[in-house]
Structure 1
């Protein structure tokens, strides 16, 4: 294991036995595993990864993919069935909410207990206690039993304890989802400061947007197997593609999902996916003069043309875009179906495009015109053509999705009009007294 490596996981597998009857489990225990009918469940299968000191890595995957099991093996909570794990440095972990806390002990007692488990003396934890209490900000509840805490209070204390013990490695498993918005913001800011100071971060979340913003590398697990390992950008794309493919299989079992689709030309698997039926063949970003443009002034109209080839008889189409910062933050999503909904609601006039039917071989160009009220920065355009099976979002088939369909930059003239952030909210200022 290199001196620059914080965590080394080598060929780790974790297998559980599931028994058909409690008596079989008892017989197995009494016989040392020689007797008792069971099945084997492989939570992890031959997983290997090296995490460098100071690196931030995300672990993605659906429920049951093995994410939490891997973290528990890294933390030493569970033993691997096969393989080895080596860790250099002090680990602080936020795993299942409330794990490691004794429900009958007070918050203060639990903080001191957690410190003792991590090797701190009582005096050392007492010296840190005021900082922990200030960050947790739960007041007099610190001296109440943990079984009186709400989930949010438990998270506050767990996070405050985890980050105030100066860990070399911080492991977070979905815990922050229960916190209120203000506390989540404080947690994210604290993690970023620690990360920028050399902390090794391992983050598990279903929210791939958060993973993309907080980490620079990612691991994707599915049924205990490594599906992808690489840059967070590439792995989150792979994860989204996997989710879309699963959705396609589910749709295929319904009448609505029956689609005589073909895709005559292969498309890039890394950045493009969908169930077929239509193909985005081109995307153009146009300026106010309707010419291709890559640089816009703040407030300038942005036109985006999406050329789509129809590969099967289709109706109920939606053609739209998602605009993101290069860091992955979703700024805006909008398409023809959003406009249709506004027309149905009487908010906008115009023709409902959802009612149109298309035949295989049709070529469609949809032009979306957006008020470019974006802040200074670089942006990615993602394009999508989908079927919307209801007159509202919630029953959607992604026919074709393209990441990185286009890029543009927004500049601002500091002498004329300036605002901060990613979007212009058209503020006004008035003296009222």
Structure 2
């Protein structure tokens, strides 16, 4: 294995035998050998389910990689094989470094043991010596913050206390590779932030992190790359923003176009792999911010300021058209001034009738982080109860541009009820973009302008 790689996965597949009845399982155990002994052809009494098929990828040391995919796509199976808690059917995994896994938190605890005893038990499973565990015990106890329960049997703990203790043990083994399977969604808000902070510190120390998440924003914010699994196959790997866009497109595609979209994503991935070798983080749009002095630009429209990362979801009888930004004077604009308000407008044409219809928008950074947006109704009770086929709606959102200088992207979406549940009838990601012009005397920092006003007074002692 090459020294710069922390994880290598080669032609990895996992097959499960599915039995319709316990009797079939007994037949499979007894009859094949019996049939062979009398010269008869073997029969199978099970169905094969391939959770993973020929998955290949490598992760370099120090990378943070997210794995996304709908439920049943093979994400958890992949992590379990990488951690060594599940055997592959074919293929192999090579890892280089100490692994700490946050899979099913608390699954390895003995409920009869105290929290203190389980710290030593789990620490030894994760590869620490007793002396190493003793050296880290105070830090583990402090992070878990379960007080006197540390000396009580785990069977008396609440589920939240078990999670706290399990997380505290796993992240205090100084892992070189940290594997996380949706464990970041547990606990209260304060504990979640505490966990994120520790994971960020582990990442900053140079560890490799591989994790599963259904939160696109988390993947975009934390990851260097992302992997898209579908039906047990790796169909794309690349920049987080692009992979999340493809995942969401696949998630909401009509079933009759699913295979078509899968193949389209595969083709895009093949092209993207070549581009990735040239630049891991190529810009989403080729804009030279220094070619003109933004401070000298008035509020205006630049026809060259168009996104190249637009993704259109499959349509369920609705189609979004002509999304654009307008000033209060009615002019089309995409060079905006901080502190002013604008209108984001688009049309929606309905080729099919729809019920409980709502419209929405979202503003994002170039890295895909969602900054904020709005919807036309807070719930189904306030939505449009029924829309007839052939209808057209003009949608308008007024927004205040409280953003600092930079380039931003816009989404547009329309949701409605389909087969008893709310879903996107059409959605456009990165369909429009705008630039916020810089100001010479702007004191605001970061992305959002919170109107922070400094007041400095000299205290004469």
TM-score band, normalised by the shorter chain? Answer: 0.7 to 0.9
Match of 1:53 in 2: 61
1:359 matched to 2:390: yes
1:338 matched to 2:386: no
- Distance in 2 separating the partners of 1:379 and 1:289: 22
Given that residues 151 and 178 in structure 1 are in contact (C-alpha distance below 8 angstroms), is that contact kept between their aligned partners in structure 2? no
Given that residues 110 and 154 in structure 2 are in contact (C-alpha distance below 8 angstroms), is that contact kept between their aligned partners in structure 1? yes
* Structure 2 residue matching 1:141: 3-state secondary structure: helix
* Structure 1 residue matching 2:428: 3-state secondary structure: strand
- Distance in 1 separating the partners of 2:166 and 2:223: 22
Match of 2:426 in 1: 400
Q: Which moved more, 1:287-296 or 1:182-191?
A: 287-296
Match of 2:344 in 1: 304
The counterpart of 2:368, out of the listed 313, 325, 328, is 328
The counterpart of 1:149, out of the listed 153, 157, 166, is 157
* Structure 1 residue matching 2:70: 3-state secondary structure: coil
Q: TM-score, normalised by structure 2?
A: 0.75
- Distance in 1 separating the partners of 2:450 and 2:399: 13
User: What stretches of structure 1 of length at least 5 have no aligned partner?
Assistant: 251-267, 346-351
Mapping of 1:198-213 within 5 angstroms?
Answer: 198-213=206-221
1:19 matched to 2:19: yes
Match of 1:132 in 2: 140
Q: Which moved more, 1:289-298 or 1:141-150?
A: 289-298
Match of 2:2 in 1: 2
Given that residues 379 and 407 in structure 1 are in contact (C-alpha distance below 8 angstroms), is that contact kept between their aligned partners in structure 2? yes
Q: Which moved more, 1:168-177 or 1:15-24?
A: 15-24
> CA 1:400/1:27 → structure 2, altered by over 3 Å: closer, same or farther?
closer
- Distance in 1 separating the partners of 2:310 and 2:401: 29
* Structure 1 residue matching 2:253: 3-state secondary structure: helix
**Pairwise CA distance, 1:185:** 0.7
Given that residues 212 and 327 in structure 1 are in contact (C-alpha distance below 8 angstroms), is that contact kept between their aligned partners in structure 2? yes
Q: Which moved more, 1:32-41 or 1:279-288?
A: 32-41
Mapping of 1:359-398 within 5 angstroms?
Answer: 359=390, 365-374=394-403, 378-387=407-416, 395-398=421-424
Write out per-residue CA displacement over residues 145-192 of structure 1, whole angstroms, 9 at most, x where no aligned residue. Answer: 222222211111111111111100101111222211001011112212
Q: Which moved more, 1:376-385 or 1:92-101?
A: 376-385
Mapping of 1:107-118 within 5 angstroms?
Answer: 107-118=115-126
**Pairwise CA distance, 1:291:** 3.0
**Pairwise CA distance, 1:24:** 3.7
- Distance in 1 separating the partners of 2:335 and 2:343: 12
Match of 1:264 in 2: none
> CA 1:106/1:409 → structure 2, altered by over 3 Å: closer, same or farther?
farther
Mapping of 1:189-200 within 5 angstroms?
Answer: 189-200=197-208
User: What stretches of structure 2 of length at least 5 have no aligned partner?
Assistant: 34-41, 259-307, 456-461
**Pairwise CA distance, 1:425:** 9.3
Given that residues 346 and 395 in structure 2 are in contact (C-alpha distance below 8 angstroms), is that contact kept between their aligned partners in structure 1? yes
- Distance in 2 separating the partners of 1:270 and 1:299: 27
**Pairwise CA distance, 1:3:** 1.2
Q: TM-score, normalised by structure 1?
A: 0.80
**Pairwise CA distance, 1:130:** 0.9
Given that residues 12 and 88 in structure 2 are in contact (C-alpha distance below 8 angstroms), is that contact kept between their aligned partners in structure 1? yes
1:67 matched to 2:75: yes
> CA 1:240/1:389 → structure 2, altered by over 3 Å: closer, same or farther?
closer
Given that residues 376 and 422 in structure 1 are in contact (C-alpha distance below 8 angstroms), is that contact kept between their aligned partners in structure 2? no
Q: Which moved more, 1:38-47 or 1:207-216?
A: 207-216
Cα-Cα RMSD: 3.5
The counterpart of 1:158, out of the listed 141, 155, 166, is 166
Write out per-residue CA displacement over residues 313-353 of structure 1, whole angstroms, 9 at most, x where no aligned residue. Answer: 55665443122233433333324x329x79x87xxxxxx97
Given that residues 315 and 387 in structure 1 are in contact (C-alpha distance below 8 angstroms), is that contact kept between their aligned partners in structure 2? yes
1:240 matched to 2:248: yes
The counterpart of 1:187, out of the listed 185, 195, 219, is 195
Mapping of 1:155-304 within 5 angstroms?
Answer: 155-245=163-253, 271-304=311-344
